[in-house]
Structure 1
Amino acid sequence: MEEHFVWVTTRRIRPGTLEDFEGAWRPGPHPQGLRRAFAYWSEDGQEITGLSFWDSKESCDSWRTSESEAQRRAAMAPYVVEEREGFYHGRELILPHK
């Protein structure tokens, strides 16, 4: 099974700022080593969980410490109330056929 390297970030944002937050959230340059990214919003639009899949922990760490990421975080900061994040590795679960 293929192993995945995943960065997960959950942010609570200020009420009514989802559209502005989304504009600030999207990175300008495509990060090197990023395979796929997903974002999920709570029903009230005040919590966003992002999942990004990377080639390796090193490529994720390189992006996380880059100037581009620092600028992106600064652009999001006015909208963010709380943030939790972590790096994980794992694999897809294969579901049994019924």
Structure 2
Amino acid sequence: MEEHFVWVTTRRLRPGTLEEFEREWRPDPYPQGLRRAFAYWSEDGQEITGVSFWDSKEACDSWRNSEPETQRRAHMAPYVVEEREGFYFGRELSVPQR
């Protein structure tokens, strides 16, 4: 099975700011080494979790330390109450067919 390097970030947002947050959240330009990205948000729109898959830890670290990412985080900051992030290695799990 193929292993992945995954960066997971969960942010608690100020009430009613999900739409504004999402406009600032998308990176521009998109990072080199980013394979896939997903966003999941709570029913009340006050928590959003981003899951991104990278070619390597180095590619992710390079993006995290870049000027575009610094600017992106500054643009998101007015909407964020709390932020947690983590780096993980993993693989897709096989789910039995019924």
TM-score (norm 2): 0.98
Question: What is the alpha-carbon distance in structure 2 between the residues aligned to residue 96 and residue 39 of structure 1?
Answer: 25
Question: What is the alpha-carbon distance in structure 2 between the residues aligned to residue 97 and residue 72 of structure 1?
Answer: 41
What is the match of residue 64 of structure 2?
64
Letter in 2 for 1:35: R
What is the match of residue 77 of structure 2?
77
Q: Does residue 39 of the first structure (1) align with residue 31 of the second (2)?
A: no
Following TM superposition, where does structure 1 have runs of at least 4 consecutive aligned residues deviating by more than 4 angstroms? none
What is the CA-CA distance between 1:30 and the residue it aligns to? Answer: 1.1
TM-score (norm 1): 0.98
What is the match of residue 17 of structure 2?
17
Q: Deviations over 1:25-54 (max 9, x none)?
A: 011101000000000010000000000000
What is the match of residue 88 of structure 2?
88
**SS of equivalent residue, structure 2 residue 69:** helix
Question: What is the alpha-carbon distance in structure 2 between the residues aligned to residue 87 and residue 54 of structure 1?
Answer: 11
Structure 1: tracts of 5 or more residues without a match: none
Once the two structures are aligned, what percentage of the paired residues are identical? 83
Question: What is the alpha-carbon distance in structure 2 between the residues aligned to residue 53 and residue 38 of structure 1?
Answer: 9
What is the CA-CA distance between 1:97 and the residue it aligns to? Answer: 3.2
Calculate the aligned-residue CA RMSD, in Å.
0.6
Question: What is the alpha-carbon distance in structure 2 between the residues aligned to residue 97 and residue 71 of structure 1?
Answer: 45
